[in-house]
Amino acid sequence: MKDKVRVALAGLGTVGAGVVKLLDANAALIGRRAGKPIEVVAVSARDRALDRGFGLTRFDWVDDATALAARDDVDVVVELIGGSDGPALTLARGALGAGKHLVTANKAMIAHHGLELAAAAEQAGLALRYEAAVAGGIPVVKGLSEGAAANALGRVYGILNGTCNFILSTMESEGRDFADVLAEAQRLGYAEADPSFDIDGVDTAHKLAILASIAFGSRIDFASVATSGIRAVLAADIAQAAALGYRIRLVGLAETAPEGSATAGLFQRVHPCLVPLSHPLAHVTGSLNAVVAEGDFVGRLTFEGRGAGGGPTASAVVADLVDIARGRTGPAFAMPVDGLVAMPAAAAGERRGRAYLRFSVADRPGVLAEITAAMRDANVSIESLIQRGRAPDGGVLVALVTHEGPERCVADALARLEGSSSLTGKPLLMHILDL
């Protein structure tokens, strides 16, 4: 790596092709910034014949991506295959085992195996870098682990999935329903043919678990992220939220509470939330992403930009390569792995907050009395109650906003209503982001 950084690229999809195009387009500039050229020497992908807008003859082609790890002519392996396990993980382990720095955009792999890989990298004095795995082109891994390094961070949250944000903000601006907008997003390439990882919140949960580890110095704990997605959000919910001064966003949120408090531990949740118009996340529209971190000295920091796509993601991958060229091979999670603390998962029950609840109910007398009685019996105080509109199932929509209180009370109220013949569908609970 003396005169140049030699890169092996595994995966030539949107992001991999973007990396090649970026390194071509900005080669001179990157050389000046990195202090040496960054050159792709070998590539591997599923389909050699595919037209990617550039030729492959200048690269060594390797059929088996995992074989890239062992090459003597490579300093850094860039893993863009995807998937938490399988060939991506085999390649990642192999690369670090063979003394190569590793750059990846693979959030699933980092969320599940990041600590193992980081420990291997540390022991070998190698870099494990994954800026592209969280919020695409936004340099938020760097922003938290280096830019905010002086702070004890108490909370990190954000909009981490562009597909969901595109769907929610399109539903909002055009008054259309979820299924309709999802189909459009799939046509436009903003959503996968199987969109469940995105719209059920799993992708956001991967990214959140990584951010929480960086922010809090905690061991990654993906399994403890309480995750729900946006399938149940109706156009009517968005209209109702708008009338109350809110926008609906899928928010991944992690926070720590002081020891001894009722909510002590690490709290991680992915959930559609009502975001007031005064909050920066309310103004993040389309497929943009944004991350907010709260530090004890810096206060609130917000990072916004494009969370996906070939160009932005390639920007993050190559930023990692520039860092490696500059000799920056520090720990992957802002501190050595054995300094990371295993934080117990905090229960949500004692968290205090306001909530939005929406019911589809039968159109008959006594239904409102039943709902409000359940609220009363669960000690949930109602701030406002609105009965308006028709549910897709023919029922009547009833929405209410609670006063601030413990989340367990709202859960209790919903439990009391479970199975009630007054409800024509599953109620929707969304938390209100009063931050």
Q: What is the β-pairing status of strands 101-104 and 76-79? A: parallel
| Stretch near a copy of itself under the rule CB under 8 A, chosen from 60-68, 112-120, 164-172, 298-306 | 298-306
* Binding residue (CB under 8 A) for a copy of itself from 70, 115, 257, 335: 335
Q: What is the β-pairing status of strands 352-353 and 405-406? A: antiparallel
Q: Is 328 in the site for a copy of itself (CB under 8 A)?
A: yes
Query: Tokens 């006063």 correspond to what residue?
Result: 403
Residue nearer to a copy of itself on the CB measure, 14 or 420: 14
- Cα 42 to the center of its chain, rounded Å: 30
| Stretch near a copy of itself under the rule CB under 8 A, chosen from 30-38, 96-104, 162-170, 221-229 | 30-38
Strands (E) located in 220-353: 226-227, 246-257, 265-276, 288-295, 299-306, 352-353
| Stretch near a copy of itself under the rule CB under 8 A, chosen from 146-154, 203-211, 344-352, 380-388 | 146-154
**Type of residue at 37:** P
384: β partners: 401
Instruction: Annotate each residue in 192-221 with x if it binds a copy of itself (CB under 8 A) or - if it does not, as one string.
Output: -------------------------x----
Rounded Cα gap, residues 320 and 107, in angstroms? 15
Contact 273, 131 (CB under 8 A): no
Residue nearer to a copy of itself on the CB measure, 301 or 367: 301
- Considering the complex, what minimum distance in angstroms separates the CB of residue 6 from a copy of itself? 17
Burial environment of residue 291 by CB neighbours within 10 A (0 to 12, 13 to 18, 19 or more): buried
* Binding residue (CB under 8 A) for a copy of itself from 79, 122, 131, 237: 131
Q: Is 300 in the site for a copy of itself (CB under 8 A)?
A: yes
Instruction: Report helix angle 367-377 to 407-417, nearest 10.
Output: 140
**Which residues, 6+ apart, have CB-to-CB distance to 417 below 8 Å?**
359, 370, 371, 374, 423, 427
* Residue numbers 362-401 binding a copy of itself by CB under 8 A: none
Q: Is 426 in the site for a copy of itself (CB under 8 A)?
A: no
Rounded Cα gap, residues 131 and 145, in angstroms? 11
* Binding residue (CB under 8 A) for a copy of itself from 97, 286, 339, 394: 339
* Binding residue (CB under 8 A) for a copy of itself from 6, 107, 306, 358: 306
Residue nearer to a copy of itself on the CB measure, 142 or 271: 142
| Stretch near a copy of itself under the rule CB under 8 A, chosen from 101-109, 296-304, 383-391, 407-415 | 296-304
Contact 294, 154 (CB under 8 A): yes
DSSP 298: T
Q: Is 1 in the site for a copy of itself (CB under 8 A)?
A: no
| Stretch near a copy of itself under the rule CB under 8 A, chosen from 33-41, 56-64, 92-100, 118-126 | 33-41
Binders of a copy of itself: how many residues, by CB under 8 A?
Answer: 58
* Binding residue (CB under 8 A) for a copy of itself from 12, 22, 171, 251: 22
* Binding residue (CB under 8 A) for a copy of itself from 26, 84, 420, 424: 26
Q: Where in the sequence numbering do the catalytic residues fall?
A: 207
* Binding residue (CB under 8 A) for a copy of itself from 1, 50, 152, 223: 152
Rounded Cα gap, residues 15 and 425, in angstroms? 41
Q: What is the β-pairing status of strands 396-402 and 355-361? A: antiparallel
Q: How far is CA 203 from CA 84, 88, 111, in A?
A: 11, 17, 10
Q: Is 174 in the site for a copy of itself (CB under 8 A)?
A: no
Burial environment of residue 8 by CB neighbours within 10 A (0 to 12, 13 to 18, 19 or more): buried
Q: Is the dihedral of CA 278, 281, 284, 285 positive or negative?
A: negative
* Binding residue (CB under 8 A) for a copy of itself from 255, 323, 407, 412: 323
Instruction: Annotate each residue in 254-283 with x if it binds a copy of itself (CB under 8 A) or - if it does not, as one string.
Output: --------------------------x--x
Q: Is 119 in the site for a copy of itself (CB under 8 A)?
A: no
Residue ranges in contact with a copy of itself by CB under 8 A: 18, 22, 25-26, 29-30, 32-35, 131, 137-139, 142-143, 145-152, 217, 280, 283, 295-306, 311-312, 314-319, 321-323, 326-328, 330, 334-336, 339
